[in-house]
Structure 1
C-alpha cells in the first residue's frame, strides 16, 4: 500500500552520497533484551525504537539508530531494513527485497530535509519513509512496508514484548560521542538547520510550523496529523473516527511519546499511568488488557511520530486534527 506523494525527483535540491560512503550497519546477531538489561549493558531510561515481525519485537537504541540511519538484518529467514532520520524524527521498516533479491542499502544523502536510502546493487536512491525509488534505474519500484517503528521506553518494550530482541551495535568512542550529540539535536524543540539542509526542501505546507511535532496516521483513505500540543490540551488522549472506526490517539505520560490504536470504546481517560476505556479495556506501558486482564494486541494504523514538514511533504493536503480540511494544492 502506498498513499504517499510521488513526484519527479529534483536533482538540484538533492544532496547525494554514493557507494564510497560507509555502508549501513548489518545486524548479524540479535540479543535478548531482558538479558542485556540484566547484564547492565543498557540503562532503564534509554529510548528505544521498536519494530514487529510475526509477533517478534526487535528493538533499537534510538541514539544509535539516529546516528546510523539505516540497519539491515534477518529474522527467521526474513530480511528486513530499518531507516530512521534524526532530522524529521521519522522511521520505517521495509523488506529490502527488490525483484526477489536482497539489496544492500546505506545512507544516500538528503532530500526534503530527510535522509535518503541508496542501494549498492543499482546505485539508485530511495525515500526512507515511503520506500519509493526516487532516482536511478529502479524508479517506479517500491519497497514493501513490514511494520511500524514505534518510540517506546525500555519498560514499555519489556512489558509488551517480554521476549523482545535488541539489535545492539557497539559504536567506537568518537562515534558514540557524535551519536549523543545527534540525539540532543533530535530532541531539541527548535534545532538549528543549515542553509544546505533548507535548500533540499520542497514546497512546504505552512498551516503549522515546520518543526511542529505530532503523530501522523494514514490508512487507505485517511491521512491525518495530530499535533502533540493538541493532545496535551485534551488531557493526553482523544477518540477520533477514522474510516468508520474509533481511533484512540494518546500521549504516554511516562515516555511522553504519542501513539494510536483502533478500539470499540467510546470514552477514555488517564488515571495516573493507566489509560482506562469504557469497554473494560485498559492500557499501561502500551500494553492493553481486557476486562479480565487478558493481554490484547491492538490493531494500530500506520503511524509516524514526526515533525510536521515531513508528514505534510509525504501527504500533501493531509488533515490536521481540529482544523478544517485543506482543499488547496
Structure 2
C-alpha cells in the first residue's frame, strides 16, 4: 500500500462510524482506513524511525502488526493467498510465505524464522476523535476502479455478528472448524505466555470488563465506550507495561491457529465460583471452556 503524507484526522471529513486501524511505535501513533486495508491487505512503512508492516484479513477481520526485519534487512511484503480461511503474506525479496497471525515463515528460504508480532487497535472515527484528537492518518495514493469499488462496498465489520465467508475460503480449511461456538463470532484473542484465550464480543458488555489473573499480574479485558471494540490491558501497578499480544478476530481464525485455546464464557452467576484449580495460574471472575 502506497501512502501519502499523513493528514490530521481533524482535517478529514469522515463519518463517525468509519473504521480505523491504529498502530503505535514508541509512543507515536498512526491511523489507517480499514476500507483501504480491505483492498491492499498489507501496508508497510516507517513510523518514528522504525519499520512496520500491518497485515489485514478481509474475511476474518484480523489486523496484526509485524516488524518486517530479518537479519537486519527490511523485507517487503504483499498479500499471497489464503490458508485456513485467513490471508497469508509473502516477501518480495525471497518469496517466502509468512503466517501473519504468528509471524512465522512456513515456506521458502526463511522457513522456520519468525517476525516480531505486535497488536494493532481497531476503532472508529468517533472514538478516535474523542480519545486521540491529534491522530494522523495515512491514506492510500492508489486510484483505480477496483480500489474505488472495494472502498465503497466494504461491509461494516466492527458490529457484524455473523459475517460471511466466500465459498472458496472453505476449501482452504485443512480440518474441522471448532464447534464450541459459531465460526464467525467476533471476539478478542489474547496470547498469554503460551496460553491462548478467546473472549467473545458478546460476553463483555459495554461498560463492563473481565478481570483475569495471569501469574502475579492482573489483566483487564473491556469494550471501548464509544466503538464497542474489546481490548486487553494490564491493571495497576503493571499498567505501564506493553499490553499483552491480542487481536480482534473471528472464532474460526483464532481456533484454527490455536486449536487448544480456551474460550471465555462470561461472568459466573454465583458469587465465589471460578475456574478449576488446575488452571490456578489464570483465575478470574468468569469461567473458561477448553476442548
TM-score (norm 1): 0.73
Q: Which runs of 5+ in 2 are unaligned?
A: 266-286
Q: 1:37-116 to 2 correspondence within 5 Å?
A: 37=12, 40=13, 42-116=14-88
**Residue 247 of structure 1: SS of its match in structure 2?**
strand
1:321 is aligned, of 264, 270, 275, to: 264
CA spacing shift, 1:235–1:77, aligned 2, 3 Å: closer
- What does 1:222-241 correspond to in 2, within 5 Å? 222-232=195-205, 236-241=208-213
Q: Which runs of 5+ in 1 are unaligned?
A: 1-24, 266-295
Distance in 2 (CA, whole Å) between partners of 1:208 and 1:300 is 26
Aligned to 1:246: 218
TM-score, L = length of structure 2: 0.82
Corresponding position of 1:311? 254
Counterpart in the other structure of 1:26? 2
Q: Cα offset for 1:212? A: 1.2
**Alpha-carbon displacement from aligned partner over 1:166-199 (angstroms, at most 9, x marks no partner):** 1111453632222332334786433333332101
Contact 2:77 2:89 in 1 (8 A): yes
Is the deviation greater in 94-103 or in 315-324? 315-324
Q: Which residue of 2 aligns with 1:169?
A: 140
Assess, with a 3 A threshold, how the Cα gap between structure 1 residues 158 and 241 changes in structure 2: closer, same or farther: same
Q: For the Cα contact (< 8 Å) 2:196–2:258, is it kept in 1? A: yes
1:206 to 176, 179, 189: 179
Name the Cα RMSD after superposition.
2.4
In structure 2, what is the Cα distance between the partners aligned to 1:193 and 1:142?
28
Q: Alignment length, in residue pairs?
A: 267
